[in-house]
Each structure stands twice: as structure tokens, then as C-alpha cells.
Structure 1
Amino acid sequence: MAKHTYDMGLIGNCAYLALIHKDTNIEWLCWPRFDSSFIFGPMMDRQKGGEYSIKPDSENFTSHQYYVENTNILCTEITCQEGSYRVTDFAPRFRQHQRYYKPLMLVRKVEPLSGAPRIKATCKPMGNYGQLELKRRRSSNHIAFLGLDEEVRLTTNASLSYILEDESFVLNETLYFVLTYGAPLEANLENTAEEFLRQTTRYWRMWVKNTSISNFFQEQVIRSALALKIHQYEDTGAIIASPTTSLPEHPGSGRNWDYRFCWMRDTYYILNAFNNIGHFEEMERYFHFIANITAKDTQRYQPLYSISGQSKLTEIELELDGYLGNKPVRIGNDAYTHIQNDVYGQILVALLPLYVDRRFNDAERIESQKLIYKTLYKIRDTMNEPDAGLWEFRDFAQYHCYTYLFHWAGASAAASAARYMGDEQLGQLATQLMQEAAAKIEECFDPEQGVYTQAIGKNHMDASTLQLIMMHYLDPASERAKSHLEAMEKELKTPEGLFYRYKHADDFGVPQSTFLICAFWYIEALACVGRIEEATEEFENILKYTNHLGLLSEDVDSKDGSQWGNFPQAYSHVGLLNAAYRISKRLDKPSFLL
């Protein structure tokens, strides 16, 4: 079987995301929100998914896809027998009237490069996950697509007749296609598109210039930072795991999940990544989202929420063919019902910057003291409760080492905050819970193997326990840290340098693909224990598992290097950013030596 990669690029503007195939087709675009129905979703069903492509008339063509340097603007160059052309796709984003302009607008600039290529422009949006065909209404310079809550409009200087009749035509001038949801484009088409392109290019390049990174694999770090940035839904500050749903973790596995939600388990890692690259604005907006979630008077914090903080994410299956025939296609995610107790520690660690980062002011700290107490009480109340764990096991609960690690880390963060506030009572409670959590973690230690296992009373190994080293529960210089890392390598690392989450059977059988962020955790752990050369080599090795644009999936098949799982995966790009930062800090050499 040939190596499978996701042959598509990502564009976005923090209001929407779109995936564009190397053949120019929009494979995935949800409007008006990240978690809305797709307007285009042919990756899930070629018949019901609609189409928005600018393909050559001939099936014989080659494609070269790349990003405009240091931007989220995507170019696809097509070469066919009659000539060549370039499609530039972008989601406008720039400062305007002291705010960010980020419309639900996809701009496509199509320009001839050589010869007289014959192309066909097809635009057939759908509604209600492929169940609703939109009605078309022709106007003088645009086509309106009707049937949704708001109008979808294609404004173009191309022939409307050719588009409506699905006819090919010769590309002999630059054409512009502006697709909008809701507010249409009512300004000069050509001038506006070009101005938006200039301003969007300028915005992204300035954003990159304001990114604090070393010279360590700088190109790859920049691409990951740009990808992570547009996974944030700026309206609320939420950051989703991935823009897609139901891309299988492995073909035929049934592990097809909707990842268009915000996971609490990712909080610490995401905030850490934005802090490491020096982007405070994104970190602050995400903190506000977390604060809104935790302010609700709920008995428990859920493992995940919608981008607007909704708690009920009922999982249903759709009548769609699925990606490469992989069913089911799911929307919603029943993991919201799971008991996942590491979320409390994640929240507390996320709150710590309020007290140690001077960029926050006192006004932003006012309500956090109550929240710290409230969350510490939740750790206390769940200390002896089994849960579904980080990996959200659906049919059994355990006393997970990872959960206790975040009980410990969260209580440690609360103790630091208590010292800042001079709250002795809070400090005593936090210290007591740290000690209780540490005792639970030690119950996971297997002295015969010199390793911490997945859960109390279990002998399974779990890549999440690498965090014991990374979060300095274990002294990285200690023999126990070294023996733990060596045992994990022996059990979970593949010869290709990839890492399994775990190898035991779960409710879907034995995992068949590796989880990419685990490989980055391993790299961080290597750096922590001082194995810097190995960490650097492993980092460079992992980069071969990106697609042609440097984008990472959730999972990788260790046998053939195929990309699987939802794509792109924010968690994987967070892993790359944090691993690069960890190594560069340990190297601590002048930039010309890197």
C-alpha cells in the first residue's frame, strides 16, 4: 500500500478554516463557525460534499502547492498540456478600525503563467452536511446560493455562464473569485481582492516577525506557529484540536472522531506554546475562554467544550460515505460526558501566569482566587475517583498516573499563587493535595521495571507518563527519570522514532498507529535528561512525517509513515513548538552555531 498523506493545505483567518487540495478543490470548509455544517466537504462524500475547484479541462496535469513565505496564504500551480496557471487562496485578515477584519470570505486569485490553459470553474456549495442542495440565483456579476440562514455569494469577473453551465474556457487574464457567507463583497472586485491580498500578506509577515524563536529549525517552527494561530476561534478565544471530523486514526479502525472542539486537556500545552513563541495576545484570549468556562456553576469541568463554551456535544452519525470509505462519519463528541479529572490541574496550571507573568494586571487576578479554591476542592473531592484518563477510554475507568500528575502540578501552581497572594490557608490546602497526589503517583511505580505505569495496579505503559520528567515531578538528572525513560523507549518507541500512546487493547482493539505528539513528548524528555544530540536527531527525523507543506496529522502509521487521524492537528503542532523550544533552550548556543 502506498504511503498516505493529506495532499492539501490549510488557510484561515481565526473566523473559519478551509482545506484546499493540490488539485485546487476545497475539500473542507465549514461556515459560519468552525463547528458548523460544511459548505464544501467532498473529502467525506464525493456526491454529497459539493465542489469548489478551478481545474484544468484535461485530467493529465501536475501540481505544485506552497505557501507565500511566512503567511497562511496558499498557492497552487497547475501545469497541463495547454499551459500553466496559479490559484492563490486566502482568508482575509488584517487590522482595520483598531480591530481585526476577518470576514467569512474566501478569495481565489487565478492568473495564467504560460500558454493558454483551458480551465473549468465549479462552485456547488451544500448545506446540512450534504443533505441540502442550495438554489442558485444569477445576478449581473455574482451567483447567489440560497437555502441557508444567510446567503452564500460568489462574486467574480469570470463568465457566469461558464460556471453555471459547467463549461471550460481559456484562461487568458487574471480572474478573481470571492465567496462570502452573509455580508457580500459590494466593492470593486479586482482592486479590493488585491488590496486584501496585500494587507493579509503584511499582517501575517508582521505576526511572524513578532514571534520569539531561535534559529533551531526555524522554518518548521514558523509553519507550526502559523497553523496553530488559525486554530483559534478569535470571537471567544477557544482553540480547537482540528478543523476536521472523522478522519480515521487508522483505516477501518472505527476511531473516527469530531475534533472541532476545545479540549481542556490541551490547555497547559497550548498556553505553553504561545508563551514560548512570545505571543501574548493569543494566550490572553485563550485564558479568557477558560475563565468563562470555569465561571459556570457546574459540578464538574468537562474534558471538552464547544468553541462558544456549550457543554452538550451529542454525538451522532451521518449518512455519508466517509473519508476513503471509512465510516462512521460523526459530528459531536460523547467524550464530553466522560469523567476526566486531570482537567482540574490543567486549569490551575493555566491560571499560574496570572501571578508570575507581569503582563497581566491586578484587575485580571481579582476573581481567580475564588476559582483556585473551587478547583482545588474539585481535586480534593476526586482524588480517590477513577476516571477515563487522558486518552478517554470509553469502557473502563482507572486510577491514572497522568491524572495524579496534574493533580500534583495543579496543586503546585496553586501553592505558588498562594505565596503571591499571601494566603496561608490556600497554601496549606495546596501543599496537602500535592503530597496526596505524589503518594498516588508513587503507587504507579513498578520497581521491577523501574517505570511508572499507566495506572495504579496496572502494568501497562503509557506515553503520557513522559510528562513526569517534563513537568519536573521527577528530577531529570535522577536515576529514576533515566530508567523510566529507557523503559518507555523499550516498550513504546518504534524503530522509526515514533511513539505509541499505549499498546494494550482498548474498546476499539489494539492501536495500530502512533500518536504524533507522543514522539514530541519523547523528544522533550530526551532534552530534559541531557540527551541533547539524540533529541535533535529525533526531532529532525519526525519532520519527515509532515505533508508537502509542513503540516502534521494526529497519527502516523509506523510501518509506512502514512498520515492518519484528523488534519491538521493543533496538538501535533503544539508538540513541535514545545519540543523545539525545549531543545533550543538546552543548546543555549549562539545562533551561528545552530
Structure 2
Amino acid sequence: MSTRHTYDMGLVGNCAYLALIHQDTSLQWLCWPRFDSGFVFGGLLDRDKGGAFSLQPADGEFSTHQYYLDNTNVLCTEVDSVGGRYRVTDFAPRFPQYERYYKPLMIIRKLEPLAGTPRVRAVCRPTGNYGQTPLTPRRSSNHIAFLGLAEEIRLTTNVPLSYILDEEDFALTETKYLVLTYGAPLEAALETSCEQFLQRTVQYWRTWVKSTSISNFYQTEVIRSALALKLHQYEDTGAIIAATTTSLPEAPGSGRNWDYRYCWMRDTFYILNAFNNIGHFEEMEQYFHFIANISTKVGDKYQPLYSISGASELIEQELDLAGYRGNQPVRIGNDAYTHIQNDVYGQVLVALLPLYVDRRFVTKERAHSEKLMREALSFIGRTMNQPDAGLWEFRNLAQYHCYTYLFHWAGAHAAHKVAQHFGLADMAAEAADLMQQAQEKIEACYLPSRGVYTNAIGSTHLDASGLQLILMGYLPPDSERARTHLAALEQELKTPEGLFYRYRHADDFGTPETTFLICSFWYIEALACVGRLDDATREFEKLLRYTNHLGLLSEDVDARTGSQWGNFPQAYSHVGLVNAAYRIAKKLDRPNFL
């Protein structure tokens, strides 16, 4: 059996940036000033061009233990070497201040001795523009400035600057702090500021976790997923990106290396549903404002994805970088923005429904959304007979996808509810007509001989997105058709390990080699829906084996080896875990604990 590959890294962030820190203390990924900016540290994609920031022992081999402080996004790495033991605490400051959140472009690395007298070598070599722009270090009184970008990167520290500039090791006999900033530097007392920021950041995350509403069903795993998901929201605009990284391959040598640092409209419903399920409305409202902002500037269609600032052009480029473990190409941008993906209109409508039917929202949150709903309903009508690239964004194939029509149906259903609630007779009639049209299209995908809905009209292929026919309530969960449909999908797409392929037929890049985690979680939700709770619980427990050492999930899993592949951490996978746990707990009638 092949060695299992995992992403041996932890995620830190503060809703202004994200960073990945390896178990060996090296900062492998950090983009500044935005999620989708060029990297400052990108060793993940190129060891030579990606810069470096590490705090490693100077005396040979060492072992590490990496963990989060409970219920926080504060990461600790304990290092054991010949000379002694020490701990690196990494965090991005985030806490309330002056009626807003303080979330600077600042990463703090606290370095403290635990035993013996370890000798540490501090290396800090940031780069710019994906390794294309070398930065020039400039020594000052108590900091090193790195020049060459639009704004200054500064390392403020009480480690002797000569040791860092010369990359010489030193004896760690007392606590040291290394504060790296982009733009505004830390201009305050170093030690007391760092300790205060750490204390307040820990308090912020623990308070945030306490405000979640979750059951006791695998509570620890749900909390970690919720914390990871929260970090993927770019608070400045409310956008939520699909993943932290770009170009980590779906399978080695597959060429399926994509940039996921963007906001997919198709994910809108699932992401908002996850936040709703854990009782977090602030994130829902921020994301709604992002969607509303986009809706006011669309032309003749919604794109499948936008940048975190709502920019529509995401031109795909290939960079001259070695790639993760040599996997090329390394891409930035994503050509999927040009695709026709018509399920987005229904996704937006279903996502907006809580604003109207949940009494915890008031009129203010509904502002401008009636216009948005009418517009999305109109788009459904205009695209009812139009083939599209589908959920999985086929690049050279347009079909009449069952999943698209399911969200036409679900979106029209949501609009119909709102129209009835407010007495909008014209909107209700339009929605009812579109529901009927969409239902006819869905039924055209049904194969009576196999008792299953295929992925598209006229196709014989099955697709894991067909699980959504049960989850969205199109197929009554206690119906014979739901049972046979689920059984057919299980037979064709499920692996013995409980993982699910998106599909098994060839696409633009051949036949998929790895399973897609969100589909596995959809399967668990479907099991819970049809009352197979023991199966749902067992399969949920199986999936927990595919996290890394910190409970973080990738996009894809190789069923043969259990290896993690694809971009990481994948917000969509963590959404799947949160929603599956919620669905099972609700069926088990487990109480929520605040």
C-alpha cells in the first residue's frame, strides 16, 4: 500500500489573511495583502522561489508536536531537539476594538524555551509577486524592513537582528517574539503588545465558539470545521473563498491544479446553510451583502465565481514555479468565470429564503433583496432551455444537467414562498410556472429501468450531485424512488471506504482519480434523510479518518491510500462536515448546546 499523503500544516488567520504553517515551523503559505494576492511565502509551490520563514533547531534532527489551543485558531508547535525543547505559538491577531474587529496584516510568532537550552536558527526571507520580485532587507534599530513591494514588510523582534540577517543560530534562553507586518507596522511595546494580542485573540475565538449552537454529536470536530470555515470569510467584503491555496493537485500528475481563492456563487446555499445550522448570523449577513453587491452590477448572467472584491475578470495564467511536489502547471486566476453555470440563480434564491421566513431577521436585512429575487427568478426563466457547464464546470461539454434543474426548481420554490408571504401574486404565478417547467426537466433525467436520475437529460452517467434530489426535498425521503435512487448512486459512485466520486465517466482531463469529500458528506446527509441513521453515523465516523493531524480537510481523498489531495484547507469540505453532523443530530433528536 502506498504511503498516505497528508498536508502536515496548520491554518492561522484573522479574516484579513490566511497562512499555512508546517509541522517543522516553516511558514509555507501566506498571501498579502489579500487572500488572492501574490504570496509573500510560497514554499508550498516552490522551495527556491517561495521565500522562507522558519524557527528550527540548529543541532540536527528534531521532532515536533503541533496542536491548536482549545477552541481557537491559535497554533502551537512544540519542537524537541538534542539541545532542548521549545514552543512556537503562531497567530493572527483578531479581537473587538473601537466597535470593530482589529485584524491587522500581522503574524506573531512567539518563541519560548520549555526545557534545556535549545539552539534555534531564525530564517526570514519574504518574497513578492509569486517569487518574481526579490525584496531587499534593510536593518533598522529594532526591526528589519523588506523593501520592493507597494508597502513595507517589517519584522519587529527582540531576537538580535544580526542572527536573523546572517541566519546564525542562537541559544534560546528566554521568550522571544517575531512580528511580521505588511503596511502598518507594530509601533508599540513588543513583549506586552504580543502577550496582550495573544490573550485577546484567544478570548475572541473562545467567545465565538461559545456563541455557536451545536449538538454534542462529534462536537470537537464540528468546532474545528466551524473555526476553519470562519477563517475563509474575507471580512472586508463578506466573501467566502473555496480554499486557502492554489494549484494543489486533485491527484498527482493529473493537471487538475486550480486556483480556489475565489468566491463561488454555487456554494452560496451550502455555506450559508452551515452558518445558519450553527447559529452564526453575522457571517450570513456579511455574505448576503457580498451577494447583493454583485447582483447590482451583473449583466446578462451571474458568473459561477467572482473575486473577493466582486471583480468579474479572473484571467487564468500559468506561473514559472516548480509546483507542489513538482505538479504543474501552477495557475492563478480561474477560467471558470467565463462558463455558463445556471444553477447559481437557484442557489442565490434558496440562500436568501431565511431572510424572509426566519423571524430572527428583520426588515433591515431584507433591504434590496426583493429586486434580487425577481432578477434571479427571471434568469431561471431565461435559462430553462439552455445547456450549461454544470456544477463540476466541464470546460468543453454543455448539457442539460439535472442538478441545474434541481436548483431551478428549488429557487423557484423559495421565490414562491416569499411571494405568498408578501402577497406578490405575479411573482407567485411566475415561480409556480417555473417550478413546473423545472420538474419536467428533472423527470426527463429519470431512468425507470435503473430507478435512478442521471446527471443530464439523455445521459446514462450518474453524478453525486444527484444526492441533492433527496437533500433539497425534491424526492420525499420516505419514498421508494428516493430509496432506489440512493441505492443506485451508492452502487456506482461509493468506494468501500465510504468515499464518493463526483462521477466516474471521463471529462476534459480523463477519468477522475480521487474522491471529492463534499460528495461523501452529501451521502451521509442523504442516509440521515431516508432514516438510515446507523449507516449515516458509521460513514461519518469513517470520514473523520481523512483529516490531517489537526482535524483539517482537503478537497479530495485517494480512496486507495487515504491520501489528502486538492486545495487545502477546503472550506467546502468543512461545510460538508458541519451540515452532515447537523443533519444526523437533528434526526437523532440531540439537543443543541449553546
TM-score range, shorter chain: over 0.9
Map 1:204-353 to 2 at 5 A.
Answer: 204-353=205-354
Query: Are positions 1:533 and 2:534 aligned together?
Result: yes
Q: Aligned partners of 1:577, 1:494: CA distance in 2, in Å? A: 22
1:175 corresponds in structure 2 to 176
Q: Verify the 8 A CA contact 2:156 2:180 in the aligned structure 1.
A: yes
Q: Aligned partners of 1:100, 1:370: CA distance in 2, in Å? A: 31
Q: Verify the 8 A CA contact 2:216 2:590 in the aligned structure 1.
A: no
1:52 corresponds in structure 2 to 53
Task: Report how far residue 420 of structure 1 moved.
Answer: 1.5
State the SS of the aligned residue for 2:255: coil
1:398 corresponds in structure 2 to 399
Query: Are positions 1:122 and 2:118 aligned together?
Result: no
Deviating more after overlay: 497-506 vs 360-369: 360-369
Counterpart residue type for residue 309 of structure 2: S
Q: Aligned partners of 1:178, 1:367: CA distance in 2, in Å? A: 43
Q: Verify the 8 A CA contact 2:59 2:83 in the aligned structure 1.
A: no
Q: Aligned partners of 1:47, 1:511: CA distance in 2, in Å? A: 31
2:192 corresponds in structure 1 to 191
Q: Aligned partners of 1:571, 1:101: CA distance in 2, in Å? A: 27
1:201 corresponds in structure 2 to 202
Q: Aligned partners of 1:283, 1:584: CA distance in 2, in Å? A: 22
Q: What's the CA shift string for 1:336-366, capped at 9, x where partnerless? A: 0000000000111112112112232224334
Q: Aligned partners of 1:90, 1:265: CA distance in 2, in Å? A: 31
Task: Report how far residue 374 of structure 1 moved.
Answer: 1.3
Q: What's the CA shift string for 1:117-169, capped at 9, x where partnerless? A: 11100000000100111011000100000010000000000010010001111
Q: What's the CA shift string for 1:210-265, capped at 9, x where partnerless? A: 00000000000000000000100000000000010000000000000000000000
State the SS of the aligned residue for 2:19: strand
State the SS of the aligned residue for 2:185: coil
Q: What's the CA shift string for 1:255-307, capped at 9, x where partnerless? A: 00000000000000000000000000001000100010111141100000000
2:385 corresponds in structure 1 to 384
Query: Are positions 1:151 and 2:170 aligned together?
Result: no
Map 1:495-574 to 2 at 5 A.
Answer: 495-574=496-575
State the SS of the aligned residue for 2:215: coil
Q: Aligned partners of 2:407, 2:291: CA distance in 1, in Å? A: 17
Counterpart residue type for residue 13 of structure 1: N
Task: Report how far residue 589 of structure 1 moved.
Answer: 4.1
Counterpart residue type for residue 325 of structure 2: L
State the SS of the aligned residue for 1:78: strand
Task: Report how far residue 561 of structure 1 moved.
Answer: 0.2
Query: Are positions 1:27 and 2:28 aligned together?
Result: yes
Q: Aligned partners of 2:450, 2:491: CA distance in 1, in Å? A: 11
State the SS of the aligned residue for 1:63: strand
Q: Verify the 8 A CA contact 2:215 2:591 in the aligned structure 1.
A: no
1:413 corresponds in structure 2 to 414
Q: Aligned partners of 2:364, 2:298: CA distance in 1, in Å? A: 22
Q: Aligned partners of 2:309, 2:449: CA distance in 1, in Å? A: 48
After TM superposition, where is structure 1 displaced by more than 6 Å over at least 4 residues in a row?
Answer: none
Distance 1:116 1:563, change over 3 A: same
Q: Aligned partners of 2:144, 2:121: CA distance in 1, in Å? A: 16
Unaligned runs of 5+ in 1: none
Task: Report how far residue 176 of structure 1 moved.
Answer: 0.2
Counterpart residue type for residue 49 of structure 1: G
Counterpart residue type for residue 452 of structure 1: Y
Query: Are positions 1:64 and 2:65 aligned together?
Result: yes
Distance 1:591 1:183, change over 3 A: closer
Unaligned runs of 5+ in 2: none
Counterpart residue type for residue 165 of structure 1: D
Map 1:420-499 to 2 at 5 A.
Answer: 420-499=421-500
2:14 corresponds in structure 1 to 13
State the SS of the aligned residue for 1:330: strand
Task: Report how far residue 368 of structure 1 moved.
Answer: 1.9
Task: Report how far residue 70 of structure 1 moved.
Answer: 0.3
Q: Aligned partners of 1:573, 1:375: CA distance in 2, in Å? A: 28
Q: Aligned partners of 1:560, 1:395: CA distance in 2, in Å? A: 31
Q: Verify the 8 A CA contact 2:60 2:82 in the aligned structure 1.
A: no
Q: Aligned partners of 1:321, 1:297: CA distance in 2, in Å? A: 37
State the identity as a percent. 71
**Aligned Cα RMSD in Å?**
0.9
Q: What's the CA shift string for 1:369-388, capped at 9, x where partnerless? A: 22222111110110001000
State the SS of the aligned residue for 2:180: strand
State the SS of the aligned residue for 1:54: strand
Q: Verify the 8 A CA contact 2:213 2:592 in the aligned structure 1.
A: no
State the SS of the aligned residue for 1:106: strand
Q: Aligned partners of 1:459, 1:59: CA distance in 2, in Å? A: 58
Map 1:103-142 to 2 at 5 A.
Answer: 103-142=104-143
Query: Are positions 1:37 and 2:38 aligned together?
Result: yes
Q: Verify the 8 A CA contact 2:340 2:388 in the aligned structure 1.
A: yes
2:99 corresponds in structure 1 to 98
State the SS of the aligned residue for 1:394: coil
Counterpart residue type for residue 254 of structure 2: S
Counterpart residue type for residue 169 of structure 1: F
Task: Report how far residue 591 of structure 1 moved.
Answer: 8.1
Q: Verify the 8 A CA contact 2:402 2:456 in the aligned structure 1.
A: yes
Q: What's the CA shift string for 1:542-584, capped at 9, x where partnerless? A: 0000000000000000000000000000000000000000000
State the SS of the aligned residue for 1:137: strand
Q: Verify the 8 A CA contact 2:95 2:201 in the aligned structure 1.
A: yes
Q: What's the CA shift string for 1:435-481, capped at 9, x where partnerless? A: 00000000000111100000000000000010000000000000000
State the SS of the aligned residue for 1:560: coil
Q: Aligned partners of 2:24, 2:370: CA distance in 1, in Å? A: 53
Q: Aligned partners of 2:267, 2:425: CA distance in 1, in Å? A: 30
Q: What's the CA shift string for 1:507-539, capped at 9, x where partnerless? A: 000000000000000000000000001100100
Q: Aligned partners of 1:496, 1:351: CA distance in 2, in Å? A: 36
Q: Aligned partners of 2:380, 2:550: CA distance in 1, in Å? A: 42
Task: Report how far residue 58 of structure 1 moved.
Answer: 2.9
Counterpart residue type for residue 100 of structure 2: R
Task: Report how far residue 197 of structure 1 moved.
Answer: 0.2
Counterpart residue type for residue 458 of structure 1: S
Q: Aligned partners of 2:180, 2:493: CA distance in 1, in Å? A: 47
Q: What's the CA shift string for 1:85-126, capped at 9, x where partnerless? A: 000000000000111000000000000000111110000000
Distance 1:591 1:242, change over 3 A: closer
Task: Report how far residue 590 of structure 1 moved.
Answer: 6.0
Q: Aligned partners of 2:282, 2:302: CA distance in 1, in Å? A: 25
Distance 1:175 1:146, change over 3 A: same
Q: Aligned partners of 1:188, 1:169: CA distance in 2, in Å? A: 23
Q: Verify the 8 A CA contact 2:128 2:134 in the aligned structure 1.
A: yes
Q: Aligned partners of 1:585, 1:360: CA distance in 2, in Å? A: 22
Counterpart residue type for residue 120 of structure 1: R
Q: Aligned partners of 1:94, 1:370: CA distance in 2, in Å? A: 36
State the SS of the aligned residue for 1:566: coil
State the SS of the aligned residue for 1:166: coil
